[in-house]
């Protein structure tokens, strides 16, 4: 199941890049965040050793779980946790504030999403600590 959700994250990142090229900063920011959101769900499935993806009730709950289960124990760098928070906040601006996100900030969000997906991909390629071959 994590492969399917990472495929979905990759599609969202590709969409973010297309929207950025079209100078749709708000759309690019939204898709960059959802690429990260999907990748974070896949990472949470890895962290909880579940094949089924956990379904957080809120974005804040997902971000909190991500920090608690993946960043604090050292499975992922604190920078990835900060990136998720930054792009989440920017997505709120993109989706709910009349003034558009500046194009350079959207570009930064897309870059952060790409690094985030790469980091999650590396994590998913490793077995859970203490397990044999997962």
Tens digits of residue pLDDT in 40-77: 999 998 988 765 555 678 999 999 999 999 999 999 99
Q: Are 9 and 116 in contact (CB under 8 A)?
A: no
Phi and psi dihedrals of 28, rounded to 5?
-65, -40
Q: Is the full-model pTM beyond 0.95?
A: no
In the chain, the domains with their CATH numbers are: 2-124 (1.20.120.330)
19 Cβ contact partners less than 8 Å away, ≥ 6 residues apart: 27, 28, 31
């Amino acid at each position: 199941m994590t492969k399917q959700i990472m495929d979905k994250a990759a599609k969202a990142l590709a969409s973010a890049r297309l929207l950025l090229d079209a100078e749709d900063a708000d759309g690019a920011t939204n898709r960059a965040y959802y690429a990260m959101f999907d990748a974070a769900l896949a990472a949470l499935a890895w962290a909880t050793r579940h094949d089924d993806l956990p379904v957080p009730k809120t974005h804040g709950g997902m971000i909190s779980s991500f920090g608690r289960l993946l960043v604090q124990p050292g499975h992922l760098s604190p920078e990835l946790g900060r990136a998720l928070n930054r792009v989440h906040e920017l997505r709120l601006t993109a989706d709910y504030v009349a003034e558009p996100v500046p194009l350079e900030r959207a570009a930064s969000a897309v870059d952060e999403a790409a690094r985030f997906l790469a980091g999650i991909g590396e994590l998913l390629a490793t077995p859970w600590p203490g397990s044999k071959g997962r």
